[in-house]
């Protein structure tokens, strides 16, 4: 059933704190369109890493829902983001997913834009036409230790302020010196919010992720607590702070300006998220040793990272349609590591490849059940606390006071 926008407040009011959201949030096209307009277009999206566009003119596209962004390094070396929509009659300006450009020429009528987005010329537009008014619409950009975050809206959450608090915690990992080893997309026939919710809780880890559960204590708060002190000792020795930072949900400085940092222990014998527990790549940043831990990091509300001592895995849940989402996983190692000698992509990607395949399956079954007229949102477990925070954020983005 199509929920019309005017029903949104009624639906929001029907949501009971501590319970899942009502069905329509995951089934309605109008709601999906609003999710793009109100959530995705007004929040910070992690689109990639500076190492992907090292030289002036290097660019790549990032697409979600009906939107497309051009991320480019300009002649002055600054990273910029533009809406990939011609100001004339709306064509996509850039149609290659990545490349090197001197200017961006619209394939339709050859309106030509500088790397900065300025319109160089509108061919045959007559004497009254002022190119200065018709540059590509800009998106805002934050560079955080090499990570590129973009927000298409003017009214972006004040994430930069929150990142100041996070910066010293992530500094030892040397994010700015990473490179991308592999990126995989796992399309799932489900609403993007179900994919985010799945990432936000480890209540499902024990029953659903056999491989992950073997090495990661997050599935069991009790076991995690038991192994934490020993890991923290090793963390300190390795040069990692043990601070936990939770400026998310009710503790965020503003909705969408959430940041989160927590390092937790792997089971004994596991130095990183590898099949056997042995290291897979050189130590990140300034780390002195493996501490047998893994760090959960959030940058804003849409971007999630898992940082091991020797590699990083980034997660995004990109909406394509009401019930079509791309789970995008990016694996990174330090940029001076050499494939074959220092790491192999197959080994590095094994754990989160099999885990993402599990997730695709369980999220798909979740959506199928939620589609039922008989679905009634049930109570969340204590281990699902972060989903509550996500709902609170979501409701605030939709104007619920």
Q: How far is the CB of 29 from a second copy (least distance, A)?
A: 7
- The 6-35 contact track toward a second copy, x by CB under 8 A, reads --------------x--x-----xx--xx-
> Applying CB under 8 A, does 48 fall inside the site for a second copy?
no
* Interface segment toward a second copy; rule CB under 8 A; list 70-78, 102-110, 267-275, 337-345: 102-110
Q: Which is nearer to a second copy, 20 or 245 (CB)?
A: 20
Mind giving me the DSSP string for 275-292? Answer: SSS---SPPPTT--S--S
* Interface segment toward a second copy; rule CB under 8 A; list 197-205, 247-255, 281-289, 308-316: 197-205
* Residue from 10, 78, 121, 137 in contact with a second copy (CB under 8 A): 137
> Applying CB under 8 A, does 109 fall inside the site for a second copy?
yes
> Applying CB under 8 A, does 125 fall inside the site for a second copy?
yes
Q: CB–CB of 311/279 below 8 Å? A: no
Q: How far is the CB of 302 from a second copy (least distance, A)?
A: 17
Q: Which is nearer to a second copy, 168 or 207 (CB)?
A: 207
* Residue from 165, 184, 206, 354 in contact with a second copy (CB under 8 A): 206
**Cα 152 to Cα 156: distance, rounded to the nearest angstrom:** 8
Start-to-end CA distance of the chain, whole Å, equals 26
* Residue from 49, 193, 204, 316 in contact with a second copy (CB under 8 A): 204
> Applying CB under 8 A, does 210 fall inside the site for a second copy?
no
Three-state SS at 357 = helix
> Applying CB under 8 A, does 93 fall inside the site for a second copy?
yes
**Tokens 């100001």, located at residue:** 87
Long-range contacts of 350-354 (CB under 8 A, 24+ apart): 350/274, 350/275, 351/211, 351/212, 351/215, 351/273, 351/274, 351/275, 352/273, 352/306, 352/313, 353/184, 353/329, 354/211
Give the DSSP H/E element, type plus range, for residue 61. strand 58-64
Q: Which is nearer to a second copy, 50 or 197 (CB)?
A: 197
Q: Which is nearer to a second copy, 129 or 167 (CB)?
A: 129
Q: Which is nearer to a second copy, 62 or 144 (CB)?
A: 62
Phi and psi at 44, nearest 5°, equal -80, 130
> Applying CB under 8 A, does 108 fall inside the site for a second copy?
yes
Q: What are the tokens at 346?
A: 């197959």
Give the DSSP H/E element, type plus range, for residue 326. strand 324-334
DSSP E strand boundaries for 160-258 = 178-188, 245-247
Secondary structure of the chain: what % helix, strand, coil (to 5)? 35, 25, 40
Contacting positions for a second copy (CB under 8 A): 1-2, 5, 20, 23, 29-30, 33-34, 36-37, 41, 66-68, 83-93, 95, 105, 107-110, 122-126, 129, 134, 137, 152, 197, 203-204, 206-208, 361-362, 365-366, 368-383
């Amino acid at each position: 059933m199509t929920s019309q926008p005017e029903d949104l407040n009624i639906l929001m009011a029907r949501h009971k704190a501590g319970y899942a959201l009502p069905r329509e949030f995951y089934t309605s096209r109008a709601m999906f369109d609003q999710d793009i307009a109100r959530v995705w277009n007004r929040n910070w999206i992690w689109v990639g890493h500076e190492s992907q566009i090292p030289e002036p003119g290097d660019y790549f596209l990032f697409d979600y829902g009906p939107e497309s962004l051009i991320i480019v390094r300009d002649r002055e070396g600054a990273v910029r983001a533009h809406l990939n929509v011609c100001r004339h009659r709306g064509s996509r300006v850039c149609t290659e997913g990545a490349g090197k450009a001197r200017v961006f020429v619209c394939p339709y009528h050859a309106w030509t834009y500088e790397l900065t987005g300025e319109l160089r010329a509108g061919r045959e537009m007559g004497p009254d036409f002022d190119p200065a008014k018709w540059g590509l619409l800009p998106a805002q950009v934050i560079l955080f230790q090499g990570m590129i975050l973009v927000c298409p809206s003017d009214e972006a959450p004040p994430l930069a302020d929150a990142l100041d608090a996070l910066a010293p915690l992530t500094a030892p990992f040397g994010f700015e010196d990473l490179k991308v080893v592999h990126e995989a997309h796992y399309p799932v026939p489900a609403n993007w919010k179900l994919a985010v919710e799945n990432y936000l809780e480890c209540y499902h880890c024990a029953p659903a992720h056999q491989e992950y559960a073997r090495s990661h204590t997050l599935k069991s708060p009790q076991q995690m607590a038991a192994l934490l002190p020993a890991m923290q000792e090793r963390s300190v020795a390795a040069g990692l702070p043990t601070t936990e930072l939770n400026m998310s949900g009710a503790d965020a400085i503003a909705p969408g300006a959430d940041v989160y940092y927590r390092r937790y222990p792997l089971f004994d014998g596991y130095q990183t998220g590898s099949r056997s527990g042995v290291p897979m790549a050189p130590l990140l940043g300034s780390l002195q040793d493996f501490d047998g831990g893994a760090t959960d990091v959030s940058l804003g509300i849409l971007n999630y990272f898992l940082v091991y001592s020797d590699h990083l895995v980034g997660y995004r849940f990109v909406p394509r349609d009401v019930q079509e989402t791309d789970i995008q996983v990016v694996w990174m190692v330090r940029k001076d590591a050499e494939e074959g000698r220092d790491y192999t992509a197959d080994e590095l990607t094994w754990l989160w490849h099999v885990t993402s395949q599990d997730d695709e399956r369980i999220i798909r079954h979740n959506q199928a059940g939620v589609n039922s007229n008989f679905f009634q949102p049930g109570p969340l477990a204590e281990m699902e606390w972060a989903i509550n925070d996500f709902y609170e954020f979501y409701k605030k983005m939709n104007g619920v006071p």
